[in-house]
Amino acid sequence: MTIRIVDATPDFSGFSSVYLVSGERSSALIDSGPSNGWRKVFDYVKSLGVKVDYIILTHVHIDHGGASGLLSRELDSIVIVHPRGARHIIDPSVLWEQSKQALGPVADYYGKPTPVEESRVRVASDGDIIDLGGVRLKLIFTPGHASHHLSVYVENEGLMFTGDSAGVFVDLSVRVPTTPPPFKPKLYLESIEKMIRENPRRVALAHYGLVDIGVEYLKWHAREITLWLDEISRMISGGLTDPIEIAERLAGKLENARIARSSRIAHLYYNTIVGLTRAVLDGEWS
């Protein structure tokens, strides 16, 4: 098996990673990256002379699936997606409007998602196996970050591609959740436990790269997001409900929140706090 990290970050590097997994018979991309990063992915794949048979989307958020229309056409690939996400890659108009509302100018940075031809879309089932020839990819539904999220486990390598189901680890110092609304914390933690039961030796994060302590990282992340939720719950119980003020208070209490707030992914940090705050206010956490 060959695994390559492909940087799909528009304009700079080290934030959005797509993975190219090759077996003896075929290859798959895990995620497509954003529309504005598609050329980086395409040029890299073409430079290798690799035929990409599948593009497996962990979810359809525009930084993960935005380029799937362009890449599936140019690479002649099938796009595999959670059943709840299929309609949003065939017609991404609603997804785009929601992304602009949630992300503001960051949405334009990622770019407008390109439609996938319906004939290229294959709907996944929980537990599906994609055999690349000596490499078996197990699709595992992992909702919480999004209702249509799935993770991909390479059974014979002990490697879990987590998408956004286990937070981010950027610039070797920013280790935080990524939980935009509508976030479902109990489902999220159940999904982490589901991945832990596979006993992965390594995890591959969409933001960004490989982490060699798979189970340990997942357990740490479950504890970390629980800590964030509990801290935000206490603030809300004390009468604080504004996500911006909660984000500032949390950064004053927790080191990882402080680092994220002052990093180049501060926009992700604030969007995460919005998702966590709304989940608590909606009674999703107690």
Q: What is the pLDDT of residues 226-264, one digit of tens each?
A: 999 999 999 999 999 999 999 999 999 999 999 999 999
Average pLDDT of span 268-286: 96
Q: Same structural domain for residues 6 and 135?
A: yes
Beta-bridge partner residues of 175: 169
**Whole-number Å distance between alpha carbons of 14 and 108:** 19
71 within some domain: yes
Domain for residue 57, yes or no?
Answer: yes
pLDDT of amino acid 180? 93
150's enclosing H/E stretch is strand 150-154
User: What's the pLDDT score for residue 177?
Assistant: 95
The confidence score (pLDDT) of residue 44 equals 97
Is residue 69 domain-shared with residue 196, that is, in the same domain?
no
Quote the pLDDT of residue 214. 96
- Report whether pLDDT(211) > 90: yes
Longest CA span, the chain: 59
Number of structural domains the chain divides into: 2
Same domain as 229, residue 135:
no
Residue 193 sits in the same domain as residue 285: yes
Q: How much is the mean pLDDT over the chain?
A: 96
Percent of the chain with pLDDT over 90: 95
Based on the fold, state whether residues 278 and 198 are members of the same structural domain. yes
Average pLDDT over residues 186-192: 98
Q: How far apart, in whole angstroms, are the C-alpha atoms of residue 218 and residue 133?
A: 28
Residue 238: which domain range? 166-202+213-286
| Whether the predicted pLDDT of 110 surpasses 90 | yes
Q: Please say if the pLDDT value at position 172 is more than 90.
A: no
Q: How confident is the model at residue 11 (pLDDT cuts 50, 70, 90)?
A: confident
Q: Are strands 159-163 and 168-170 parallel, antiparallel or unpaired?
A: unpaired
Please check whether residues 84 and 181 belong to one and the same domain: no
Q: Do 124 and 18 belong to one domain?
A: yes
What's the pLDDT at 156?
87
Query: What pLDDT does residue 12 have?
Result: 84
Is 185 domain-assigned?
yes
Collapsing DSSP to helix, strand or coil, 173 comes out as coil
In terms of domains, do 127 and 175 share one?
no
User: Both 171 and 136 in a single domain?
Assistant: no
CATH number at residue 36: 3.60.15.10
pLDDT at 138: 98
User: Within a 13 Å sphere around the CA of 92, how many CA atoms are in the beta-carbon half?
Assistant: 23
Q: Is residue 149 part of a domain?
A: no
In angstroms, the CA 115 to CA 113 distance is 7
Alpha helices in the chain (DSSP H): 38-48, 62-65, 68-75, 86-90, 93-103, 105-110, 185-196, 214-237, 243-253, 255-261, 266-281
Contact 144, 279 (CB under 8 A): no
The reported pLDDT for the residue numbered 68 is 98
Same domain? 221 vs 273: yes
Count of other CB atoms within 10 angstroms of residue 181: 16
Q: What is the pLDDT of residue 160?
A: 98
Q: Does a structural domain hold residue 154? A: no
Domain boundary among 91, 126, 141: 141
DSSP state letter for 118: G
116, 226: one domain: no
The pLDDT tens digits of the residues spanning 50-103 come to 999 999 999 999 999 999 999 999 999 999 999 999 999 999 999 999 999 989
Instruction: For residue 147, tell me if it sits in a domain.
Output: no
176: in domain:
yes
Q: Is residue 260 part of a domain?
A: yes
Q: Do residues 128 and 190 both lie within one domain? A: no
- CA–CA gap between residue 79 and residue 29 (Å, rounded): 9
CA distance 31 to 64: 5
